[in-house]
Amino acid sequence: MMYGITGTPGTGKSSIAGVLREQGFRVLHLSETTAEYVIGEDPVRATLVIDEERWAAEFVPFDGVVEGHLAHLLPCDRVAVLRCRPDVLADRLLGRGYHDEKVRENALAEALDVVLVETLEIFSPEQVYELDTTDKSIRECSDRVGGFFRGEIAPQSGFLDWSPYIGMFA
């Protein structure tokens, strides 16, 4: 089975995947699979541009957890969408040294539910577990995500409303 962990940058994907690896899950960081699919660089957004369609079409299924911002584009059996309150997310990204425009773009995407909406356009709600990581420890988050992947925790999505933060970042 292939499980995906996706979310806006700064929501905890890599940290949670690290704990899941310690718990025995096989983990693949998707950033390690995209190099040959880079088609350019967006200097304004300070990011690489990936041919996402070709990458997803050529991706060889992985038995374990695939972690990364694009995980929801792969044929996963279950997907955890990590979320973080936009103002807290902005602080996390600033702490990582992201420039102001990149922080604004990611915080706005989080307020608009971009990754969750994309995920639910591809997967049924029964395959999706939305988790607010804002005030939870990495251990608690990894326990919940691992529980969902093992079928011990029920799917859930669509319960967060961060629309009041849109004006803060628009």
Tally Cβ neighbours within 10 Å of residue 49: 12
Mean pLDDT, residues 38-63 taken together: 88
Looking at the DSSP bridge assignments, the partners of residue 79 are 4, 128
- Give CA–CA dist 39/108, Å, rounded: 25
pTM over 0.85: yes
What CATH number is given to the structural domain containing 98?
A: 3.40.50.300
**Which domain, by its residues, includes 25?**
2-169
Percent of the residues in the chain that have a pLDDT greater than 90, as a whole number: 91
Tens digit of pLDDT for each residue in 62-78? Answer: 999 999 999 999 999 99
Tens digit of pLDDT for each residue in 104-114? Answer: 999 999 999 99
The pLDDT-based confidence of 44 (bands split at 50, 70, 90) is: low
Note whether 24 and 146 are within 8 A (CB): no
- Give CA–CA dist 117/60, Å, rounded: 25
